[in-house]
Amino acid sequence: MTAVGEANPCTYYNYVGGEWTKSAGGGLLESRNPATGEVVGYAQNSTVADVEEAIDAVYQAFQASDWGYNPKRRYEALLGLAQKMEENLEHLARVLTMEQGKTIRESRLELSGCIDTLKYFAGAARTVFGRSIQLEPHNFGVIVKEPIGVVGIISPWNWPALLMIRELAPALAAGNGVIVKPASLTPAISVEIFKLIDQVPHFAKGIVSIVTGPGKSIGAAMGTSKKIDMISFTGDTSTGKTIMEMATSNIKKLALELGGKSPNVVFPDANLDKAIPMIGRSIFISAGQICMAGSRLLVHESIKEEVLSRLQQYAEQLKVGNGIDETVDMGPLVSQSQLELVNEYCEIGRREGKIVTGGYRLTGGEYDKGYFFAPTIIDELPANCRVLKEEIFGPVLAVQTFASDEEALALANDSDFGLSAGVWTSDVNRAWRMSKGIKAGTVWVNTYNKNFPEAEFGGYKQSGLGRTRGIDGLMEYCETKHIHFETE
Ligand code: NAD
């Protein structure tokens, strides 16, 4: 069997029971570069039987090893993986860019985020404290935190390395066994990381598995399996709802990180020299394919003209192209279907509002080989327009205007989503009022897209359930037990 990552394009295997395995069905998934159409690799098109085998292997490893009650081992394992990723960062960044399309600079950023997350949760593995309490004379309660058992992680394609590690690190740090299913569009980068896990001796053999294949079959098999105790899902809100229904099979614990439609709210006293490039970046990074994209701009009417003209300039100077080129600012969309979806929303925008810039697929020369789309800004949309309400997951900024703080807050909260928001003002009281009033898991004041493994992240409303990152993120992967002692 070819070692993972050696041939080009290489064939990627599942990792089950600490061994590289082929799918019993024998089929392969093709992973293609969205900038060029070239094949990046072939991954296993796994079957439900493969998933069941992997779940059993993780369960056996969890039962047979000391993983669940040896935090120092988990600390060593996660640090070991961080070190391997550091050593291989450039190789991983190239695979990530070739498979997902994002710029090479963004790939390095994503992988650095993985390393930081692994280091944080390596340390956190040694801090899973419980509590104790005297309840009555001779009666003591000891509240302990325990691993849940077998956790299934289902990841999306947009930040495939970080969003897998963001859940894998705390799930393992808490002492669980884990089975991962990456998105079908990005199996190569996910399996490349497992290739490094395989090189770290501190992982208990079989405690973590990866199985690649379609969500509708093998993802669903994980969602309904009675042998999986918890599902951590990152992806579309509609898929999240399906996963919730599946989880009723055995009342699984759930952590859901879902979609967003996040506003940047710009007041007249904002520092526009700082705000404009950060607002632009918040929507055009990853070609807008990011859950916390600042996809709505709410701007005070008195500065609208200036803000829009400067954002238009920002959008039009971005260099769009193959992300492997160090000078490119924005790569392609991930697939033909994503391109069609973004185009559809722009057609709605054209019919119901006014396209300020962009709104079309880029064509000609190298552009014809990939799924490139122009950075887009749309204004003058009616209040209930789908472009304002739905997550587009593309480089499309929708603009709205407000006249008062109250109207700004009402517009910011006029959404089914509540993942994040940006507030731009130099008035600290206004910043505080807005931050407290906005129903979102993260509010950035005079900045955007700042994420740290130690700071909780997650959604209000239909943006999710539970929190990832930080101590709360670690606790999501723990059960709580009360052990009661009566001493006489
Ligand atoms: P998706 O829901 O289509 O797929 C996510 C994962 O679920 C994939 O691995 C997919 O194969 C699997 N899946 C699909 N159908 C399934 C089913 N019926 N049962 C089980 N698994 C199934 O999402 P996507 O298109 O990969 O990612 C984009 C979405 O993810 C956007 O909505 C984005 O906002 C969201 N997202 C959220 C966060 C966050 O932290 N809140 C982060 C990144 C992306």
Q: Using one digit for the tens of pLDDT, what is the confidence trace for 392-408?
A: 999 999 999 999 999 99
User: Amino acid identity, residue 355?
Assistant: I
pTM of model > 0.85: yes
Q: Which atom of ligand 1 is nearest to the CA of 463?
A: 41
The best mutation among 162, 231, 291, 342 to test binding of ligand 1, ranked by most ligand atoms within 8 Å of the C-beta, falls on: 291
Q: What is the 3-state secondary structure (H, E, C) of the chain?
A: CCCCCCCCCEEECEEECCEEECCCCCCEEEEECCCCCCEEEEEECCCHHHHHHHHHHHHHHHHHCCHHHCHHHHHHHHHHHHHHHHHCHHHHHHHHHHHHCCCHHHHHHHHHHHHHHHHHHHHHHHHCCCEEEEEECCEEEEEEEEECCEEEEECCCCCHHHHHHHHHHHHHHCCCEEEEECCCCCHHHHHHHHHHHCCCCCCCCCCEEECCCCHHHHHHHHHHCCCCCEEEEECCHHHHHHHHHHHHHCCCEEEEECCCCCEEEECCCCCHHHHHHHHHHHHHHHHHCCCCCCCEEEEEHHHHHHHHHHHHHHHHHCCECCCCCCCCCECCCCCHHHHHHHHHHHHHHHHHCEEEECCCECCCHHHHHCCCECCEEEECCCCCCHHHHCCCCCCEEEEEEECCHHHHHHHHCCCCEECEEEEECCCHHHHHHHHHHCCCCEEEECCCCCCCCCCCECCEECCEECCECHHHHHHCCEEEEEEEEECC
Whether the predicted pLDDT of 308 surpasses 80: yes
Task: Say if ligand 1 is within 6 A of residue 417 CB.
Answer: no
Q: Above pLDDT 90, what percent of the chain?
A: 98
What would the mean pLDDT of 227-248 be, rounded to a whole number? 98
Distance 235 CA to ligand 1 centre (A): 2
What would the mean pLDDT of 443-462 be, rounded to a whole number? 98
- Which pLDDT band holds residue 9 (cuts at 50, 70, 90)? confident
Task: Say if ligand 1 is within 6 A of residue 235 CB.
Answer: yes
Q: What is the pLDDT of residues 465-486, one digit of tens each?
A: 999 999 999 999 999 999 999 9
Distance 334 CA to ligand 1 centre (A): 13
> What pLDDT is recorded for position 7?
54
Task: Say if ligand 1 is within 6 A of residue 219 CB.
Answer: yes
Whether the predicted pLDDT of 95 surpasses 60: yes
Task: Say if ligand 1 is within 6 A of residue 48 CB.
Answer: no
What would the mean pLDDT of 34-54 be, rounded to a whole number? 97
> What pLDDT is recorded for position 277?
98
Whether the predicted pLDDT of 3 surpasses 80: no
Q: Which atom of ligand 1 is nearest to the CA of 468?
A: 40
Residue 10 appears among annotated catalytic residues: no
Among protein residues, the one whose CA lies closest to atom 18 of ligand 1: 216
Whether the predicted pLDDT of 436 surpasses 90: yes
Task: Say if ligand 1 is within 6 A of residue 220 CB.
Answer: yes
User: Amino acid identity, residue 428?
Assistant: V
Sketch out the chain's domains with CATH numbers. 10-258+463-483 (3.40.605.10), 263-452 (3.40.309.10)
What would the mean pLDDT of 237-243 be, rounded to a whole number? 98
Distance 215 CA to ligand 1 centre (A): 9
Task: Say if ligand 1 is within 6 A of residue 216 CB.
Answer: yes
Distance 158 CA to ligand 1 centre (A): 9
Task: Say if ligand 1 is within 6 A of residue 393 CB.
Answer: yes
Whether the predicted pLDDT of 246 surpasses 90: yes
Exactly one of 257, 385, 391, 476 is catalytic; which is it? 257
Residue 346 appears among annotated catalytic residues: no
Task: Say if ligand 1 is within 6 A of residue 441 CB.
Answer: no
- Which pLDDT band holds residue 4 (cuts at 50, 70, 90)? very low
Distance 397 CA to ligand 1 centre (A): 22
Task: Say if ligand 1 is within 6 A of residue 167 CB.
Answer: no
Separation CA 279–CA 286 (nearest Å): 14
Mean pLDDT (the chain) is 97
Separation CA 150–CA 171 (nearest Å): 9
Distance 289 CA to ligand 1 centre (A): 12
Q: How many CA atoms lie within 13 A of 160 on its CB side?
A: 28
Whether the predicted pLDDT of 342 surpasses 90: yes
> What pLDDT is recorded for position 430?
98
Among protein residues, the one whose CA lies closest to atom 9 of ligand 1: 183
Distance 44 CA to ligand 1 centre (A): 19
Exactly one of 10, 110, 114, 291 is catalytic; which is it? 291
Separation CA 98–CA 95 (nearest Å): 5
Whether the predicted pLDDT of 445 surpasses 60: yes
- Which pLDDT band holds residue 431 (cuts at 50, 70, 90)? very high
> What pLDDT is recorded for position 1?
36
User: Amino acid identity, residue 84?
Assistant: K
Separation CA 336–CA 371 (nearest Å): 6
